[in-house]
């Protein structure tokens, strides 16, 4: 799916906008240009992705400090939550996790908050730029500086990245949350994922990525799925971890 993305220059952030446009090989345009499908623009020192057109939802950005991220930190999502159990978190053993479908990084942040070392792999240069900006701002905040120090970001095709991993660098767990077309009212509440799906299209590589992950994970692969969704690629997991509205299908590595 080819969506036209441009960088909009805004007062006070002209140099950042020009640098981003050069780095991503995107055109520069005005903030009110209706021709691109999406605009990247700096507002209040944060990078936002704004869909254009009549009735477009509000902007999307990565925020590891405030909003939902702050709520999840303050609620103290603990070691026995489904996500923690899914990646094999144990007392005294915070695993190294590769989040091979990084998205907006919210689950990666929860794992890093628990003490896990998390490598986020994102193949979209636009989404990678949003994540990079979110990590930059989080590193400047005393509340999240130590947490995001356990998070590293890679721009790469996840399957290629996993195939190239030396044996000694293989993670304890690989986490997959493939793009899934939510329907009805649930979709309306997930503005960030809705924007990513419109930008990137439906994930058609989840099945092949699972096969690669099974050959590269040290201990397990955790696949996040809607609770009633079919297995990824029709492959039955070795076991499952259930949550209220989602489930985690757990696969053990293949030889």
The span from the CA of 84 to the CA of 224, in Å, is: 12
Average model confidence (pLDDT) for the chain? 89
Among 41-55, 62-76, 133-147, the range scoring the smallest mean pLDDT is 62-76
Query: Over pLDDT 70: what percentage of the chain?
Result: 89
| Same domain assignment for residues 25 and 110 | no
Same domain, yes or no: 41 and 72: no
Taking every pair of Cα atoms in the chain, the longest distance, rounded to a whole number of angstroms, is 55
Q: What is the distance between the alpha carbons of residues 169 and 85, in angstroms, rounded to a whole number?
A: 22
Give residue for tokens 């992705």: 49
Round to whole Å and give the CA distance between 38 and 103: 17
- Domain membership of residue 59 (yes or no) is no
How many domains, in total, are found in the chain? 2
Residues 116 and 75 grouped into a single domain = yes
Spatial distance between the Cα atoms of 203 and 196, rounded to a whole number of angstroms: 11
Residues 100 and 194 in one domain: yes
Distance CA 206, CA 212 (A): 10
| Neighbouring residues of 29: CB distance < 8 A, sequence distance ≥ 6 | 6, 7, 8, 9, 35, 36, 39
Write down the pLDDT at residue 180: 65
Is residue 88 domain-resident? yes
| Residue-range definition of the domain harbouring residue 172 | 67-251
Please state the pTM of the whole predicted model: 0.91
Do 116 and 152 share a domain, yes or no?
yes
CATH (domain of 97): 3.40.50.150
CA angle 21, 122, 187 (to 5 degrees): 95
Q: Name the DSSP class of 234.
A: G
Same domain membership, residue 161 and residue 45: no
Name the residue among 215, 179, 216, 212 with its Cα closest to residue 197: 179
Residue 58 in domain: no
Answer whether residue 203 shows pLDDT above 70.
Answer: no
CA distances from 158 to 39, 64, 197 (A): 25, 22, 17
Looking from the CA of 201 toward its CB, the CA atoms found within 13 Å total 6
Domain-embedded: residue 243 = yes
φ, ψ dihedrals at 47, nearest 5°: -90, 125
Q: What is the pLDDT of residues 66-115, one digit of tens each?
A: 888 887 776 655 667 899 999 999 888 899 999 999 989 999 999 999 99
In a domain, 182, yes or no: yes
Helices (H), the chain: 14-24, 67-74, 82-86, 106-113, 125-139, 145-148, 158-163, 185-188, 191-200, 206-214
171 compared with 54, residue with greater pLDDT: 171
16 and 95 in a single domain? The answer is no
Whether 98 and 202 map to the same domain: the answer is yes
100 DSSP assignment: S
Please indicate, yes or no, if residue 56 is contained in any of the structural domains: no
In whole angstroms, what is the distance from residue 208 CA to residue 229 CA? Answer: 18
**Alpha-carbon span 52 to 5, nearest angstrom:** 10
3-state secondary structure of 118: strand
Cβ–Cβ under 8 Å, residues 118 and 151: yes
* pLDDT of 206 strictly over 70: yes
- Indicate if 127 and 10 belong to the same structural domain: no
Same domain, 27 and 106: no
Task: Indicate if 24 and 133 belong to the same structural domain.
Answer: no
Q: Which of 18-22, 54-58, 215-219, 223-227 has the lowest mean pLDDT?
A: 54-58
Q: What is the pLDDT of residue 184?
A: 44
The reply to whether 20 and 131 lie within a common domain is no
- The single residue listed with the structure tokens 């990666």 is 108
Residue 141 lies in a domain: yes
Whether 157 is covered by a domain: the verdict is yes
């Amino acid at each position: 799916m080819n969506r036209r993305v441009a960088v909009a220059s805004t007062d006070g952030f002209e140099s950042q906008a020009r640098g981003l446009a050069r780095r991503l090989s995107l055109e520069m345009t005005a903030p009110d240009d209706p021709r691109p499908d999406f605009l990247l623009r700096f507002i209040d020192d944060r990078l936002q992705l704004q869909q254009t057109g009549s009735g477009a939802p509000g902007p999307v950005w990565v925020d590891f400090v405030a909003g939902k991220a702050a709520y999840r930190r303050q609620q103290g999502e603990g070691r026995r939550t489904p996500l923690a159990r899914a990646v094999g978190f144990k007392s005294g053993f915070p695993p190294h996790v590769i989040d091979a479908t990084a998205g907006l990084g919210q689950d990666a942040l929860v794992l890093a908050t628990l003490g896990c070392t998390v490598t986020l792999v994102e193949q979209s240069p636009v989404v990678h730029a949003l994540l990079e900006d979110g990590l930059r701002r989080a590193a400047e905040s005393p509340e999240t500086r130590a947490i995001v120090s356990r998070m590293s970001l890679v721009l790469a095709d996840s399957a290629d990245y996993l195939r190239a991993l030396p044996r000694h660098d293989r993670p304890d767990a690989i986490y997959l949350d493939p793009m899934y077309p939510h329907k009805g009212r649930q979709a309306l509440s997930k503005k960030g994922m809705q924007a990513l799906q419109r930008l990137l299209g439906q994930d058609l590589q989840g099945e092949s990525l699972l096969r690669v992950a099974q050959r590269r994970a040290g201990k397990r692969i955790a696949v996040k799925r809607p609770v009633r969704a079919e297995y990824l690629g029709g492959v039955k997991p070795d076991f499952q971890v259930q949550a209220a509205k989602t489930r985690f299908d757990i696969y053990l590595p293949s030889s």
